[in-house]
Amino acid sequence: MNLQAISRASALAVMGLLLPFLFHRLGPLGRVFLPMYLPLLVGAFILPMRWAVALGVLTPLLSASLTGMPSWLTPVPIWMALELGFMAFMCQLLGRKLPVPWALAFSLLLGRCLHAGLVLASVQLLALTPQPTANVQLLEKLLSMAPWLSAWPGLLLALTSSVFALPGLVLAMLVVPTGVAALRRWDMRLETLK
């Protein structure tokens, strides 16, 4: 039993639950800055793979159950669980060969592609009607630039979700490598004290 991995995963899960709660108290910032992603992506680089993937999958589901964010009335908790679990897996895989910023960038890009695919599949398979509550101005701008998008509600929802998440992806690119480097330095200090 790896007590260090258990304690780190627990601390990161708590942060993954608290940060969105705090961000959502400030308005729609939770959807824009993706606060749950930050500790989970740090965990993807410092935890063993199975713990990192489990953290990515379980934290959004736990958050939906405990706080109602994201709501179980939508498929968003499932989308997030699959996306964050996949991102953790990709961070682990790519982090073995690439520096943290590059592994993170590719993982974020691939994860958002998976997210867009899940949105498209959900709209098609479940016959969902997208309800644009997050950013009506962005939807109106997209529709004015490309009116044909209204015939493709899944694509419209996927594009809106991706564009709306850009500030959070930029924040992750700034915060996660710094957090990973700080925790790795901390580990080296602890090793020298032993």
Q: pLDDT tens-digit profile of 27-74?
A: 777 678 999 999 999 999 999 999 999 999 999 999 999 998 888 888
Alpha carbon separation from 97 to 13, 90, 151, 178 (Å, rounded) = 26, 11, 42, 19
Give helix 37-46 / helix 166-193 axis angle, nearest 10°.
40
Q: What is the pLDDT of residue 190?
A: 59
Residue 88 belongs to a domain with what CATH number? 1.10.1760
Domain coverage including residue 182: 3-193
Give the helix ranges, DSSP H, for the chain: 3-24, 29-33, 37-46, 49-67, 76-95, 100-126, 136-145, 153-164, 166-193
- The CB density around residue 175, as the number of other CB atoms within 10 Å, is 17
pLDDT digits (tens, 9 = 90+) for 85-107: 999 999 999 999 999 999 999 99
Say how far apart CA 147 and CA 175 lie, in whole Å.
37
* C-beta of residue 35 within 8 angstroms of C-beta of residue 20: yes
Question: Number of folded domains in the chain?
Answer: 1
pTM: 0.84
Q: What is the pLDDT of residue 141?
A: 57
With b for 16 or more beta-carbon neighbours within 10 A and e for fewer, the 145-166 pattern comes to: eeeebeeebbbbbbbbbeebbe
**What is the CB-side half-sphere exposure of residue 132 using CA atoms within 13 A?**
19
